[in-house]
Structure 1
Amino acid sequence: MSIRKKLLLSNVGMIILPVFFVFLLEIILGYLFFVVFKGNPQGSELKWFIGFRFIAIALILVITNGLLTYFVSKSIISPLKQLSMAAKKIGNGDLEYSIGYNKKDEIGELTNTFELMRIKLKDAKTAQQQYEQNRQELIASISHDLKTPLTSIKGYIKGIQDGVANTPEKLERYMNIIYKTTNDMDGLIDELFLYSRLDLQRIPFQFERVDLYAFLSDFVDELAFNLEKEQGTATLSANKADSYMVEADREKLKRVITNIVQNSMKYMDKNHKNIQVRLFSSANEVIVEIKDNGSGISKEDIPYIFESFYRTDTSRNSSTGGSGLGLSIVKGIIEKHGGTVWADSALGKGTSIYFKLKKVT
């Protein structure tokens, strides 16, 4: 019941209840004075009757109005006190304090709004804690991923300085290792830089009309050529009669495909490596699927693979460790295109990464 109805009924009750009780009192007092005690309606008993009636009417008015005011005010003030207490608790950082008020009135709506605010604040606090944890993991990841190759480079340079690389062949091998390691570091720094610019929304996008079929055909042809050296294959499947025209940034879109494929290649555990790219077209959107035949991802890990610095393997070895930013960058770029990205996988069978973009005519 709304507060407005409560106040209305209370005001009506302040009129009806006293009238009812006065009428009832008239009957009871009249019966007692003039029937039970056989008083004279024309004598002194009448004066006593009028006096008692006046006092009783005053008591009835005070009691009924007082009780109605008390219960109505209690139904309003009590939840307001709970809200005040909850506000103080939340102000002191206790976001677990919940108000159990389920009545459907204005205060109930206010309480529900307050509870929704509490939940959002709690979620924001959780997100902040997660962000802080991610920041600490970022520092740890950068420290680890930069220190490891730097240590390796220092070791090989020290070996050259100490004359360990005492033959042209050994010197060339040392220099090649140093070059490869610094190249890997350059790639890591590039990913960190791109990720930070995406996160700060400071990276420009040059959108243009792109035919995804033609775009992916070139990419898959180059990928197939590279995989042939490792006895692998890469194929593109699409209905050529459909349109796959989208509005996209070619450079950023290539980064998306590259990151997905590189991530797939890290977890290829089959002798024959296979990458399948499929295009699906509907009236308003184009869906791209990039499927591999790698080791797959567990159902527990799938919801987190697009988070920053998340790795399905915790070993952090050089072959599969990576930066943990590849798929996070993919998600960031696709969302800047107004699209969505998701994954489907089965352990031992492989993983499919999907992303969806809006079709243009």
Structure 2
Amino acid sequence: MMFRPASTFPLRLARRGAEVLPGLALTVPIAIVATLIGTVVPVLGSALPAIVIGVVAAVIRRPGARFQPGVEYSGKFLLQVAVVLLGAQLSLDAILRVGAESLPVMLSTLAVCLLGTWVIGRALRVPQRLRTLIGVGTGICGASAIAAVSPVIGALSAEVSYAVSTIFVFNILAVVLFPLLGHALGMDPHTFGLLAGTAVNDTSSVVAAAGVFGAAALGYAVVVKLVRTLMIIPISIGLSVIESRRSAEGRRMTLRGAIGLVPWFLVGFLAVAVIGSLGVIPPGPREAMVHASGFLIATAMAGIGLSTDVAALRRAGWRPLVLGAILWILVTATALAVIALTGFGY
């Protein structure tokens, strides 16, 4: 293996910066606008507005070759950095305590969602990568899970755009319907927090739904949601192994090979979560990391939107949306059933 001399690093860094700067000059302003929109309308978040603005801009005039390196850099590398910084939201104490309480509901809903993705997605003839993105987005944590898994399975920009948009539709419905459902079933705040944290996708929508139900439900719902985010790690590792076996034409997977498949950004995600749990990261920098993660996700979504093949979205048709609807109903029904069977909150 050949190593480049360290003395050339500044020159290489300058060249890379000059290469990606034009594209970043497109994606960063879009991310700023999307973040402002998400601040004014929290239920929207910043990921969806960034993708929508990017797609609209691409329809009007798709970025030329000069902008492509920076657009791709935003949609890939910055996306991976954002996933690493997501780990700052978690603490080991919260993971252990809330994880123990919510594990039956969390694992049940994830298992049902993944099984439904495979069976129903195949029956609806939804393309494999797209159904995987919709499945992990519904079963784990919306746009964040889609962001983490998309580079693992080599998803196309059009597939990421469609998956994020599909998940968003049901986030909006959840904000409206879940508080009504919780009150109708006579749930206490703790129980509703568990339901919202396991059955609503993006964090912004979990916050909105729990906030509508009552302030007492909010804290628990958010912690459940963040613990649920950890499911990104085993799912991504499993998908890495599956993708490797598929591309390796049936060659036997060794332990060393499996370890090598773990994406660097998922290792970084877990490392940041552990470091944060040890109290090494002060509250100010931790909050800055969380905000930086959200902004980088918006920047990445802008890059994905700008490189979206709109014709491919049209070809996807209605089937992915139907898959998303069925999975969302399955996850909600499973969460309610397990909560009732375990007597949680009663």
TM-score (norm 2): 0.23
Whichever structure has more strand as a proportion of its residues is 1
Whichever structure has more helix as a proportion of its residues is 2
Structure having greater relative contact order (Cα 8 Å, sep ≥ 6): 2
**Rg bigger for which structure?**
1
TM-score (norm 1): 0.23
